[in-house]
């Protein structure tokens, strides 16, 4: 074996890609991986897809250990996932400091690009936030949901540069006032795998 095969949530893609060259230089092993919604990656493992390493949410890894699909003693913490909001680079900058600000920004968007709201952690988080804001039903028709992690980015202005699965998926000619939510993995020695804070 000269390649480590990874099945991972899309949020960890930037983290893994950033380590690939140094890992190869230190170990001689290449890294090959598939990055998508965490639920989809767990289902691939359940269906027999070979993997040397899984990077998923803490809860999902624990379930896979209960199912005897991963070795419980091998579970280690590698990072946290944050959710961010972005608009296209030619749209005005937004300030979101309060729940009301967030509700107003999302209501003003013609489209909201999010990862899969059933299979991805970030997508489920965004769905919960919309529900908590009381606008899930109102915005349902404007959600643009993507279930894969290999899309292109277009021209978005955003504070985070890695793990933007849904951001890369948005088309070059997206609607005016489009908003986008996504997750990315941040290395953190005190946290669990790639999992939501809190």
pLDDT tens digits, one per residue of 126-153:
899 999 999 999 999 999 887 654 432 2
Model-level pTM? 0.61
Q: Range of 136's domain?
A: 81-185
Q: Which residues does 68 contact at the CB level (< 8 Å), separation at least 6?
A: none
> pLDDT, tens digit, for every residue of 38-83?
888 999 999 999 999 999 989 999 999 999 999 999 999 888 877 7
* Residue 181, domain member (yes or no): yes
Check whether residue 104 and residue 68 sit in a common domain: no
* Residue 92, domain member (yes or no): yes
CA-based nearest residue to 38, from 112, 113, 117: 117
Longest Cα pair distance anywhere in the chain, in angstroms? 53
The whole-number pLDDT of residue 179 equals 54
Check whether residue 107 and residue 144 sit in a common domain: yes
Of the candidates 51, 79, 107, which is a domain's last residue?
79
**Which residues on adjacent β-strands are paired with residue 63?**
none
Check whether residue 73 and residue 11 sit in a common domain: yes
Identify whether the C-beta of residue 183 lies closer than 8 Å to the C-beta of residue 79. no
Rg (CA), the chain: 17
Check whether residue 62 and residue 113 sit in a common domain: no
What is the number of domains present in the chain?
A: 2
Check whether residue 151 and residue 85 sit in a common domain: yes
């Amino acid at each position: 074996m000269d390649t480590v095969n990874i099945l991972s949530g899309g949020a960890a893609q930037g983290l893994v890609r950033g380590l690939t060259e140094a890992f190869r230089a230190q170990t001689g092993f290449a890294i090959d991986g598939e990055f998508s919604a965490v639920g989809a990656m767990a289902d691939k493992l359940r269906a027999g897809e070979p993997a040397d390493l899984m990077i998923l949410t803490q809860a999902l890894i624990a379930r896979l250990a209960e199912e005897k699909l991963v070795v419980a003693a091998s579970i280690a913490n590698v990072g946290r996932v944050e959710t961010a909001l972005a608009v296209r680079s030619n749209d005005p900058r937004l300030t979101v400091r309060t729940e009301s600000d967030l509700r107003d920004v999302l209501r003003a968007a013609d489209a909201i690009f999010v990862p899969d709201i059933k299979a991805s952690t970030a997508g489920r988080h965004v769905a919960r936030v919309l529900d908590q804001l009381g606008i899930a039903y109102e915005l349902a028709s404007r959600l643009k949901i993507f279930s894969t992690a290999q899309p292109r980015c277009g021209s978005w202005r955003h504070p985070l540069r890695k793990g933007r699965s849904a951001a890369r998926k948005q088309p070059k000619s997206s609607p005016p006032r489009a908003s986008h939510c996504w997750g990315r993995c941040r290395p953190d020695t005190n946290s669990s795998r790639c999992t939501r804070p809190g």
